Chain A
Amino acid sequence: MEDLKNEMKMEFLAASSNEGFARVAVGAFVAGLNPTVDELADIKTAVSEAVTNCIIHGYEQKGGHIWIQCSIEGNLVEISVMDTGMGISDIAQARAPMFTTKPELERSGMGFAFMEAFMDTVEVVSEPRKGTCVTMRKAIGEG
């Protein structure tokens, strides 16, 4: 049996052109677990939501860096997406479906709702003016 314990870290500029790169990179890392097409789409969508939040809300589209840390243990994938941006003062409100602080940008307020729908667990740790870390977990191959 192949030992399924693996880890990767990446750091990139908080630019919208890197959103595609980030979700594809995580998708490629997770591909070793042979996820279904749906499972892979779930993970890519969740990563895309978290990274977009860092860019639009964390850094308000003014640059900065984003860190992604990803590990695989057995069939469990854990993905952390972190920024050192403005942080979230009210996490419960931020997670509420349809809530957005940026309606003028036509944000739907569904980012966290999608992460929660597509992953098994979503944890948010944030401090105003320090940054935000979103950690998501998903078991692969359990339907």
Chain B
Amino acid sequence: MEHKYRKEFGCLILKMPEELDHHAAEFLKEEADGLILKYPVRSLVFDFSNTRFMDSSGIGVVIGRCKNVRFSGGYVKAVHLNEQIQRIFQLSGLRKIMEVE
């Protein structure tokens, strides 16, 4: 499974998968960490515009990548969350630890 990404003005934008569950999380973690190493950018953006479903496995993916990027002084945010994903962000407290747009 391939996840799309793009680089823009020193920013790495990760396209999150349609269904972000434990199954997708396993692939995504590895791929995202590879990209973060390959492109030492200042900020990482999780783009949820294609994502229709996310469960608690997705939280682990987001928090894990946040730690990796912030460790090197980077900045993280999440964009284009649908209502279901906004609720997951709210309930899990993810909203409090990162910028959501």
Contacts and interface: CB of A to CB of B under 8 A. Distances in A.
Contacts of A49: 55-56
B23 A17 contact: yes
A48 B83 CA distance: 18
A56 B22 contact: yes
Contacts of B64: 106
Contact of B60 (A41, A44, A48, A106): A106
Interface residues of B, number: 21
B55 A38 contact: no
Contacts of A117: 91
Interface of B: 19, 21-23, 25-26, 29, 53, 55-57, 59-61, 63-64, 83-84, 88, 91-92
Contacts of A16: 21-23, 26
Contacts of A105: 60
Contacts, number: 63
Nearest to B54: A45
Contacts of A133: none
Nearest to A115: B56
A76 to B, nearest CB: 23
A58 interface: no
Contact of A19 (B22, B63, B88, B91): B22
A106 B61 contact: yes
A113 B91 contact: yes
A111 B25 CA distance: 15
Contact of B55 (A17, A37, A45, A55): A45
B26 A52 contact: no
B23 A19 contact: yes
Which of A16, A45, A56, A106 has the most CB atoms of chain B within a 10 A radius of its CB? A106
